[in-house]
Amino acid sequence: MRSPRFLYLTALVSAAIGWLLFPFAALARDWIVSPKAGDFATLRAALNAAQAGDRILIRAGLYQEGPLLVKRPIVLQGEGWPVIDGEKREEMLRIESDGVRVSGIVFQNSGQSYSIDIAAVKLLKGKNCQIAGNRFLDNFFAIYCASAVDCVIEDNEILGHAVSEGGSGNGIHLWSCQRMTIRGNHVRGHRDGLYFEFVTDSLAEGNQSIGNLRYGLHFMFSKNNVYRNNLFEGNGAGVAVMFSKEILIEGNLFRNNWGPTSYGLLLKSIDDSVIRHNLFVRDTTAIRFDEANRNRIEENDFVANGKAFELFSDSSDNVIEGNNLQENVFEATSNSLTAVPARFSHNYWSSYRGFDLNRDGIGDVPYRPVRLFASLIETTPCISLLIGSLFQETLDFVEDLFPTLIPAMLVDPEPSMTRIPWSK
């Protein structure tokens, strides 16, 4: 057993090392910024004075100070919703440090540019930063992160007033980032609500992306990301995932993404991913497969969409299993009568009219989700004017008598007779 004297000396040495290695923890202090009474009247002066580990408390007021730069690991905390205003000319806050936290601040009226990405808050090469609980109003880009690692962006309210794609930026924009957490943000009125490019090992969870001009979520060239429990509603073209792989898309709601070129979810050159426990409601096309390979679509609900699945012949080896499809205008369409972009199995189809003589819950007659009328629309879109007409009813009747008219391989051999409860 070690002596009390030895333990006492060890404690003193450890304390001394702690003071040498972590001096900022002991010296950190709070600075108050206020237009009326505080340590500083301007935020710029406080940023110049603050040292690593300090906290700057920003009191309510209007701050129009041009671009501000954070070079040290500090906390910027608003009290009473202070407003940093870019006066429609400039970027407001640039972070070039690790360990920065920004919260409780209103960022409004950034500048606009067609050549550079002006943002309300721009984070460059930072690690372990947090942008949480802020409000962003009428900015070009709201939050822009480049080469950031292990950062959290959460619980921000982001509202833009974009009128054209070329004249607007994205709500939350990530480029070349790793292990990011994007959680609980509300984004509306930007070009893309969430935009991720070259992003890996990251999580987007519990966000609401509504009414954006182009995509609610747009990500490209990314790998091993999770998109869970988000709402994507009323966006111009829905959600697009492109040139990516090993993605988990789980528990999301895709709703009312409606228009001539809209979809709930576009899978463009996305491979080896899982899409499960999502709800697609009233989207023009719930899921479009375009050069999508080896993906699993399982235990989702598709309700009242124009098309549940649009399958392009350049896709292959996808599995569509255990889903519920109810009251969609078309369950599936394909631009080829011979290609097999996906294999169907054990789905529930509300339009299925088969029987179950042995009462095992599986239809005794295979279900063919691709109707001849839907295939004609793929090649001749103007025929969509005849949806619900006597022509369609006649074509469907003939097709039921002669099923060889439709793709033989796009078939669910064992359709479920009842809705399938999701397994957790």
Q: Please report the pLDDT score of residue 112 as a whole number.
A: 87
Question: Helices marked H in 2-104 — which ranges?
Answer: 4-21, 23-27, 43-49
- Phi, psi of 19, rounded to the nearest 5 degrees: -65, -35
Q: What is the rounded distance in angstroms from the CA atom of residue 103 to the CA atom of residue 56?
A: 11
Q: Which residue has the tokens 């067609």?
A: 114
CA-to-CA separations, 358 to 74, 94, 418, in angstroms, rounded: 69, 68, 15
Q: Please report the pLDDT score of residue 68 as a whole number.
A: 97
Indicate the SS3 state at residue 18: helix
- Phi, psi of 156, rounded to the nearest 5 degrees: -100, 145
Q: What is the rounded distance in angstroms from the CA atom of residue 377 to the CA atom of residue 385?
A: 9
Q: Which residue has the tokens 């179950």?
A: 356
Say which CATH superfamily domain 26-228 falls into: Single-stranded right-handed beta-helix, Pectin lyase-like (2.160.20.10)
Q: Please report the pLDDT score of residue 9 as a whole number.
A: 44
The amino acid sitting at 99 is: G
The helix (run of H) or strand (run of E) holding residue 392 is: helix 390-401
Residues in the chain: 424
Contacts of 397 (CB under 8 A, 6+ apart): none
Contacts of 13 (CB under 8 A, 6+ apart): none
The amino acid sitting at 33 is: V
Quote the tokens at residue 338. 């011979």
Block means of pLDDT (10 residues each) for the chain, length 424 residues? 43 41 60 92 96 97 94 98 94 97 97 86 97 97 98 98 87 98 98 97 98 96 96 95 96 93 94 98 96 97 96 94 95 80 95 90 89 56 59 56 57 94 74
Give the pLDDT confidence of 347-404 residue by residue, as tens digits.
999 989 889 999 999 999 999 887 555 555 555 566 565 565 665 555 555 555 555 5
Q: What is the rounded distance in angstroms from the CA atom of residue 107 to the CA atom of residue 188?
A: 15
Note whether 132 and 100 are within 8 A (CB): no
Q: What is the rounded distance in angstroms from the CA atom of residue 324 to the CA atom of residue 132?
A: 37
Give the pLDDT confidence of 331-349 residue by residue, as tens digits.
998 887 667 899 999 999 9
Q: What is the rounded distance in angstroms from the CA atom of residue 175 to the CA atom of residue 157?
A: 21
Note whether 234 and 213 are within 8 A (CB): no
Q: What is the pTM for the complete model shown?
A: 0.86
Q: Please report the pLDDT score of residue 202 as a whole number.
A: 98
Note whether 268 and 242 are within 8 A (CB): yes
Contacts of 249 (CB under 8 A, 6+ apart): 227, 228, 241, 265, 273, 274, 275, 276, 278
Quote the tokens at residue 183. 């959680």
Indicate the SS3 state at residue 394: helix
Note whether 283 and 305 are within 8 A (CB): yes
List the domain boundaries for the chain. Answer: 26-228
Q: Please report the pLDDT score of residue 199 as a whole number.
A: 97
- Phi, psi of 125, rounded to the nearest 5 degrees: 60, 25
